[in-house]
Copies of this chain bind each other. A is one copy, B any other.
Amino acid sequence: MGAVKSKRMPRAVREQQMLDAAVRTFGQRGYRAASMDEIADLAGVSKPLVYLYLNSKEDLFTACIRREAAALTAAVRAGVRPGLPADRQLWEGLRAFFTHTAQNPDGWAVLHRQARTHGEPFAAEITAMREEIVAFVTQLIVVAAREAHRNPSLAEREVAGLAEALVGAAESLAAWANATPGTSARQAAATLMNFAWAGLGNLMEGQPWAEAPESAGTPGPRP
């Protein structure tokens, strides 16, 4: 049994316990490999109660996605101080994002790995959350560009791609840092920032890397 058994808790509390157990199980095992038995056991309740409160495995998974998505976007919003310049806001948002995902690896696994792996019922949830975050970041980047009076017409899609790339790079770095002794998570974050920031800056200045045939030796857009 996973949790201490204490009877007669209000429904809201019981539900959160179930969701905690479900997020952990889904995040570690995947949607299919997670069994309702294990989840109920980990939550310290009987299986029919899980069904009474959350209807089905699909609904339970959807509830997990929704709760974790809300927590993630809340964390990002809470990490950003609205008065600051846009580049600081972006930086703070990224820090909040990486901090939250590092502290909730199972929730992040549910959102990023498991939910996308499975079919239509869940993709919509993920898309909604994703759009919210991407819209937030996009807005920050656009504002930053406007503040810098440069290149105010970044395409929406391009920003979305950047977010994807950032997240992928961050995940790889995190795994690599974990597997490489002597490398802290903070260093990994700094490396990522180094890696990414200049690229964003150039993008916003309208000086992308060009497939120039004469390009040689010196990397980067400037001579």
Question: Contact residues of A with B, CB < 8 Å?
Answer: 30-33, 85-88, 90-91, 113-114, 116-118, 144, 147-149, 157-158, 160-162, 164-173, 175-177, 180, 183, 187-188, 190-204, 208-209, 211, 215-222
Contacts and interface: CB of A to CB of B under 8 A. Distances in A.
A219 B170 CA distance: 19
A211 B165 contact: no
Number of copies: 4
Contacts of A149: 217
Contact of A220 (B170, B188, B197): B197
A217 to B, nearest CB: 4
A148 B197 contact: no
Most buried by B among A170, A173, A199: A199
Contacts of A208: 190, 194
B183 A173 contact: no
Contacts of A165: 169-170, 172-173, 191-192, 195-196
Given A113-B116, A116-B113, A176 B199 contact: no
B199 A194 contact: yes
Contact of A33 (B118, B203, B204, B218): B118
Given A86-B217, A148-B219, A165-B192, 11 more contacts: A31-B32, A114-B117, A158-B191, A160-B180, A161-B183, A161-B188, A164-B173, A165-B191, A168-B168, A198-B202, A200-B219
A195 B201 contact: no
A183 B209 contact: no
A196 B165 CA distance: 10
Contacts of A30: 30-32, 117-118
Most buried by B among A170, A177, A183, A195: A195
A202 B196 contact: no
A162 B147 contact: no
A33 to B, nearest CB: 5
